[in-house]
Amino acid sequence: MTTRTCHSIVLAAGLGTRMKSDLPKVMHEIAGLPLVGHVLKALAQAGSERISVVVGPQMPDLEALVREITPSVNCYVQTDRLGTAHAALAAKSSLEQPADDVLVLFGDTPLVTPETISRVRDALANGADVVVLGFETSNPHGYGRLILSDNGLQAIREEKDASETERNITACNSGIMGFSGEKALSLLEAIGNSNAKGEYYLTDAVEIANAHGLNVTAVMGTEAETQGINTRTQLATCEAVFQQRRRENILDIGVTLLAPETVFFAHDTEIEPDVVVEQNVVFGPGVTVKSGARIRAFSHLEGAVVGAGSVVGPYARLRPGTVLGADTRVGNFVEVKNTTMGHGAKANHLSYIGDASVGSKSNIGAGTITCNYDGFLKHRTDIGESCFVGSNSTLVAPVRLDAGAFVAAGSTITDTVPEDAMAFGRSRQSVKEGRAKELRARLKAAKDKKS
Q: Which residues are marked as active site?
A: 349
Q: Which phi and psi (to 5°) does residue 395 adopt?
A: -105, 110
| Torsion 46-51-57-60 (CA) sign | positive
Residue partners of 259: CB distance under 8 A and separation at least 6: 278, 279, 280
Question: Does 25 count as an annotated binding residue?
Answer: yes
Of 354, 295, 371, the closest CA to residue 329 belongs to 295
Which three-class secondary structure string do you get for 160-220?
HHCCHHHHCCCEEEEEEEEEEHHHHHHHHHHCCCCCCCCCCCCCHHHHHHHHCCCCEEEEE
Q: Can you name the residues that pair with 18 across neighbouring β-strands? A: none
CB neighbourhood size of 323 (10 A): 19
| CB-neighbour burial class of residue 321 (10 A; exposed 0-12, middle 13-18, buried 19+) | middle
Tell me: is residue 124 an annotated ligand-binding position.
no
372 marked as binding residue: yes
- Residue 230 annotated as part of some ligand binding site: yes
Indicate the SS3 state at residue 339: strand
Cα distance between residue 324 and residue 329, in whole Å: 9
Q: Is 382 annotated as a binding residue?
A: no
Check: CB of residue 15 under 8 Å from CB of residue 37: no
How far apart are the C-alpha atoms of 171 and 308, rounded to whole Å? 48
**Does 174 appear as a known binding residue?**
no
Q: Say if residue 12 carries a ligand binding annotation.
A: yes
Q: Is 202 annotated as a binding residue?
A: no
- Is 352 annotated in a binding site? The answer is yes
With 0-12 / 13-18 / 19 or more C-beta atoms within 10 angstroms meaning exposed / middle / buried, residue 411 is buried
Q: CA of 249: how far to CAs of 2, 316, 427, in Å?
A: 26, 25, 56
Can you list the pairs that 207-214 forms with residues at least 24 positions away whose Cβ atoms lie under 8 Å? 207/154, 207/155, 209/129, 209/130, 209/183, 210/152, 210/153, 210/154, 210/155, 214/129, 214/130, 214/183
Sign of CA dihedral 151, 153, 159, 160: negative
Task: Tell me the backbone φ, ψ of residue 35, rounded to 5 degrees.
Answer: -50, -45
Provide the annotated binding site.
11-14, 25, 78, 83-84, 108, 144, 158, 173, 230, 319, 337, 352, 363, 366, 372-373, 391, 409, 426
Provide the annotated binding site for Mg(2+).
108, 230
Provide the annotated binding site for acetyl-CoA.
366, 372-373, 391, 409, 426
Provide the annotated binding site for UDP-N-acetyl-alpha-D-glucosamine.
11-14, 25, 78, 83-84, 144, 158, 173, 230, 319, 337, 352, 363
